[in-house]
Amino acid sequence: MNSSLPARLVLVTAGGAIGTAARIGLGLALPAPATTGIGTIPWATLIANVVGAFLIGVLAARLPGSSSRRLFLGTGVLGGFTTYSSFAVGSVTLWHASPWLAAGYAIGSLVVGLAAAALGLAIARPRRPHAQVRG
């Protein structure tokens, strides 16, 4: 990438604004969870992180690491869309209401997120043509 530092900052900042707005929109689109005695899973955060991990996997397989598009879409948009901080706070908050549910949520989020990223990489990775079998 031959872009200057200010140009790269603009790409990440613009992408981050879009991704963050999309995450907030997702949170507003989902119905407010009912408060129960056992705690509430932060569904918007889980969905954003799993979808974002999948899409980051797709981008990593398709776009060079140094491209402006990957910087804008991966670091900016998807970096703003996914959220480790909300995941951490949601896990701790859930822990106070239901430690077992919180542990399941935290471990499940990590496992499903890793699987989503691996799936994105596998699906988007360019395929090599198969050699023809001669008989």
Give the pLDDT score at 126: 85
Instruction: Give the pLDDT band (50/70/90) at residue 65.
Output: confident
Range of the domain at 70: 5-31+42-124
User: Residue 96 falls within a domain, yes or no?
Assistant: yes
Judge whether 85 lies within some domain.
yes
The pLDDT assigned to 102 comes to 94
- Tell me if 86 is assigned to some domain: yes
Residue 3 CB burial class (10 angstroms; 0-12, 13-18, ≥19): middle
Q: Which of 75, 57, 77, 65 is nearest to 123 (CA)?
A: 57
Q: Confirm whether 129 is domain-assigned.
A: no
Q: Which residue has the higher pLDDT, 119 or 31?
A: 119
* Residue 101 belongs to a domain: yes
What is the chain written as a DSSP string?
----HHHHHHHHHHHHHHHHHHHHHHHHHSPPPPP-TT----HHHHHHHHHHHHHHHHHHHHS-TT-HHHIIIIIIIIHHHS-HHHHHHHHHHHHHH-HHHHHHHHHHHHHHHHHHHHHHHHHHSPPPPPPPPP-
> Considering the entire predicted model, what is its pTM?
0.85
Position 133 scores a pLDDT of: 57
pLDDT at position 116 is 98
Give the model's pLDDT for residue 66. Answer: 80
Q: At what angle do helices 99-124 and 84-97 cross, to 10 degrees?
A: 150
Mean pLDDT of 28-57: 84
pLDDT band at 71 (very low <50, low <70, confident <90, very high): very high
pLDDT digit string, tens, across residues 75-131 = 999 999 999 999 999 999 999 989 999 999 999 999 999 999 999 999 999 887 765
Residue 109 lies in a domain: yes
**Total domains in the fold of the chain:** 1
Res 62: pLDDT:
93
User: Has residue 133 been placed in a domain?
Assistant: no
131 domain-assigned: no
